[in-house]
Amino acid sequence: MPPLTVVAVHHAGSGGGWTHRACARCLARERLIPLAFHPLRHDGARLTYPEIVPGELVATLAPLGESPVLAAPIGRLLAAVARTKDRTLDADQRHAAHDEARATVAQLRKAARRASHAVREAR
């Protein structure tokens, strides 16, 4: 059985609840972000990569699962994308937020290459 990555947690009022896991293929197909990278205030539900992240990059990230190299870039990506949706920003600020989101995708791509290289060397 391939390794599974935790993608969500469903809390139950009277018990432990359920932990949802996904294989690398499912992570890629459904664009799922591993739970380890969800924002702290997130409720534990499934979280998908934003549309700004190309499908080929999601496919590259999926086999890396919860690689610690990806934590910071994914955190920056989610924060940048959240700023693009902030309606209190003026047009220039929103444009800068979109530029930042695109730049974080490039950083995520570099981190994915480093993590992929580390995984290959470990084998």
The structural domains of the chain, with segments of one domain joined by +, span 5-122
Asked if residue 111 lies in contact with residue 75, where contact means CB atoms within 8 angstroms, the answer is no
Asked if residue 103 lies in contact with residue 95, where contact means CB atoms within 8 angstroms, the answer is no
Of residues 117 and 71, the one with the higher pLDDT is: 71
Q: What is the pLDDT of residues 41-99, one digit of tens each?
A: 888 889 999 999 999 999 999 999 999 999 999 999 999 999 999 999 999 999 999 99
What is the chain's mean pLDDT, rounded? 90
| Encoded tokens for 41 | 């205030």
DSSP state of 15: S
Angle 91-122/71-84 helices, nearest 10 degrees? 160
The predicted structure's pLDDT at residue 116: 84
- Average pLDDT of 15-21? 82
- Average pLDDT of 4-29? 87
Q: What's the half-sphere exposure (Cβ side, CA atoms, 13 Å) at 20?
A: 15
| Encoded tokens for 28 | 């890629």
Asked if residue 22 lies in contact with residue 4, where contact means CB atoms within 8 angstroms, the answer is yes
